[in-house]
Structure 1
Amino acid sequence: MSAVIVDDHPAIAAGIGVWCAAADPPVRVVDSGSTPAVAWTGPGGDADVVVFDLQLGGQVPAYRDLRHLVDAGRQVVVYSMRDDQETVLTCLDIGVFAYLGKTEGPRHLVPAIQAAGQNLPYTPPVMARAFGTDTRSERPRLTPREVDVLVSWFACESKEMVARKLGITVRTVNSYIDRARIRYAHAGRPAPTKAALVARAIQDGLVRLDEL
């Protein structure tokens, strides 16, 4: 499993590299840099997971760069000094795999990276707290891409067909479906099966029966 680190603090990037190398199994950090360019070019362009610092050289969160990575199908783990609910939920709405505060350290960051690389759900404490105190509507706010993948999956016989239709990998299809399941579970409306997800989507107006 490989990762690329986007962080403008060299000491933090170096520390993450040490934690990843000591993991069992280890995570190979193929590159690191202070701008998102490192995740698009060279070895970072093929990394399984992008570890992303939200504050890159300024006070404004790098939401635009984050959205570009997610829209490209990358598995992104945000690792940031910011841990307020609004920021966490905004990043999750964009479609990141997981969000961690830098106070959570290797105990949660390394498992989150490993889970992202294997498309396995992982909810670190900052993320769980943001979900638990979310007072918004019980309808999860799925990203447009998550909705596209779900609706396509409902209409197709297999995830392989969805991947071909949308021009993405099967791994990415699984990732979007898992994210949708996590959002529904944290909204108190679990959907562990395809049939349950279909039911939720119909209830929320994401798809009509005549479209299935």
Structure 2
Amino acid sequence: MTSSDPRPEGAPFRLAILDDHGLIVDSLATMFSEQSPEFDVAVRATTWIGLIRDPGFPVDVVLMDLQLGDTVSIESRIRACRAAGAKVVVVTALDDEESRDRALEAGAAAFIPKTTPADELVEVARKVARGERVRPSRRVPVLAGGQADVAASDGPDRTAAGLANARLSPAEERALRLYAQGLSTLEVGRRMDVGYETAKTYLRRVREKYAKVGRPASRKSDLIRRAAEDGLLE
């Protein structure tokens, strides 16, 4: 364990499994429980918002399906997980070069075909948990008629219907978007072409506005949840 690793010495790595097929989620959870005691399956989710809002999130490693039934891009999902401190392994039935490049450039530690044998997938997860970046050579053909991950949309997926609106200003909303992607407060300011104190003020106001409507946002993981709930991860 390094000095930056918050896990107690000898504690298992906390694992989240995200796939829109519940049977796959349960099968992977059982496999890891039986084959890899160094992992604790802390979150099982079939939707992106279900992962982000689960009390067990953030975790150490997320096994994430490339294609989910929403409009949030794979890049935003990966960056949000990384911003919360989780490493990401993308597990996919669509192993085309474009999707692979997008996932790895966004910060995924590994991009794994769903045809990968169980023991190899477990070993990849072990390596990623230890901080290694994995680029397996195995490739699977793209099925005829296969489509890429649903990354583009006509607008944000407002999955939080019924949740109180924090009524963020455009500047506050942009600051939250950038911060939830893993940028530091200083980097948020640079991207917005404002000073550090201004960016800090935007984020403070975001936290205050969410708190006023009963949606806690004091921690970074809370802010990522709020951004996901309000469709601000595109």
TM-score normalised to structure 2 length: 0.49
Please, which of 18, 32, 44 is the counterpart of residue 56 of structure 2? Answer: 44
The alpha-carbon distance between structure 1 residues 63 and 47, as it changes in their structure 2 partners (threshold 3 A), is: same
Indicate if the aligned counterparts of 2:25 and 2:46 stay in contact, CA closer than 8 A. no
Please, which of 66, 78, 89 is the counterpart of residue 66 of structure 1? Answer: 78
Matched to 2:130, the amino acid is Q
| 1:78 alignment counterpart | 90
Please, which of 14, 21, 32 is the counterpart of residue 2 of structure 1? Answer: 14
Query: Partners of 1:114 and 1:76 in 2: how far apart?
Result: 12
| 2:144 alignment counterpart | none
Query: Partners of 1:99 and 1:44 in 2: how far apart?
Result: 24
**Which one has a bigger Cα radius of gyration?**
2
Whose helix proportion is higher, 1 or 2?
Answer: 1
The alpha-carbon distance between structure 1 residues 46 and 60, as it changes in their structure 2 partners (threshold 3 A), is: closer
Using the TM superposition, give the Cα deviation of residue 42 of structure 1 relative to its aligned residue in structure 2, in angstroms. 3.5
Following superposition of structure 1 onto structure 2, how do residues 60-209 of structure 1 map, counting pairs within 5 Å? 62-126=74-138
Matched to 2:62, the amino acid is V
The alpha-carbon distance between structure 1 residues 104 and 121, as it changes in their structure 2 partners (threshold 3 A), is: same
Using the TM superposition, give the Cα deviation of residue 14 of structure 1 relative to its aligned residue in structure 2, in angstroms. 1.0
Indicate if the aligned counterparts of 2:58 and 2:81 stay in contact, CA closer than 8 A. no
Matched, 1:27 2:66: no
Using the TM superposition, give the Cα deviation of residue 12 of structure 1 relative to its aligned residue in structure 2, in angstroms. 0.7
| 1:12 alignment counterpart | 24
The alpha-carbon distance between structure 1 residues 53 and 24, as it changes in their structure 2 partners (threshold 3 A), is: closer
Using the TM superposition, give the Cα deviation of residue 29 of structure 1 relative to its aligned residue in structure 2, in angstroms. 0.9
Query: Mind listing any 5+ residue stretches in structure 1 that lack a counterpart?
Result: 128-143, 146-167, 169-212
Indicate if the aligned counterparts of 1:3 and 1:28 stay in contact, CA closer than 8 A. yes
Q: How many residues align?
A: 134
TM-score normalised to structure 1 length: 0.54
The higher relative CO (CA closer than 8 Å, separation ≥ 6) is in: 2
Indicate if the aligned counterparts of 1:7 and 1:35 stay in contact, CA closer than 8 A. yes
Please, which of 54, 62, 66 is the counterpart of residue 54 of structure 1? Answer: 66
Indicate if the aligned counterparts of 1:3 and 1:51 stay in contact, CA closer than 8 A. yes
Query: Partners of 1:117 and 1:75 in 2: how far apart?
Result: 7
The alpha-carbon distance between structure 1 residues 38 and 47, as it changes in their structure 2 partners (threshold 3 A), is: farther
Query: Partners of 2:81 and 2:43 in 1: how far apart?
Result: 16
Query: Partners of 1:6 and 1:46 in 2: how far apart?
Result: 13
Indicate if the aligned counterparts of 1:3 and 1:29 stay in contact, CA closer than 8 A. yes
Indicate if the aligned counterparts of 1:99 and 1:126 stay in contact, CA closer than 8 A. no
The alpha-carbon distance between structure 1 residues 121 and 96, as it changes in their structure 2 partners (threshold 3 A), is: closer
